[in-house]
Amino acid sequence: MQTSIWLGQALPIGIGATLLMDGWLWLLQRCGVKTQNFAMIGRWAGHLAQGRVRHAAIGAAPPVSGELALGWAVHYAVGIGFALLLLLWQGPAWLAAPRPLPALCFGWLSVAAPLLLMQPAMGLGLFTLTPAAALRQALRSLLNHTVFGLGLYLSALALS
């Protein structure tokens, strides 16, 4: 399948999965659970574009113009990228008849990005700083990315 066709499918699947995850995060916030501040992702991305990958504490880094919008754009771009990787891994047969397990597994694998890449780069350490917070954060991220995986499946199902 051509890359443009894959991307044409990855866009709605990635956007749908990310929207479902955002709905989940909104529900968590309504229940008083602290969730990701997308401005900090935008701040990190803004500094990354200037060549700075790692920060001791992203909150203490100088703000970047439009960081909240940039953070949301990065969030959705990553969701679309993950959808594209899922489609490349599973191939056209999965897209024609989506099954939940590959999408959920991919969602579970995608949890490595925040825990092993984003958090350390933003100065939060691997799985955050303290052992108690690390377990809580890892479980929260796993649940969030399970919802993302479910969104990958449901979005692909809606397209098939």
pLDDT at 30 > cutoff 60:
yes
Q: Average pLDDT over the chain, rounded to whole?
A: 89
pLDDT digits (tens, 9 = 90+) for 67-116: 999 999 999 999 999 999 999 999 989 999 999 999 999 999 998 888 88
Rounded mean pLDDT of 41-59? Answer: 88
Give me the pLDDT at residue 23, please. 98
Please give the Cα distance from 86 to 94 (Å, whole number): 9
CA angle, 76 then 77 then 78, to 5°: 90
Dihedral through CA 1, CA 150, CA 159, CA 69, nearest 10? -90
Give me the pLDDT at residue 136, please. 78
| Domain extent listing, the chain | 3-159
Check: CB of residue 142 under 8 Å from CB of residue 135.
no
Check: CB of residue 18 under 8 Å from CB of residue 144.
no
Give me the pLDDT at residue 15, please. 98
The one-character DSSP state at 114 is: I
Check: CB of residue 45 under 8 Å from CB of residue 117.
no
The DSSP code sequence of 9-26 is HHHHHHHHHHHHHHHHHH
94 alpha-carbon distance from chain centroid: 21
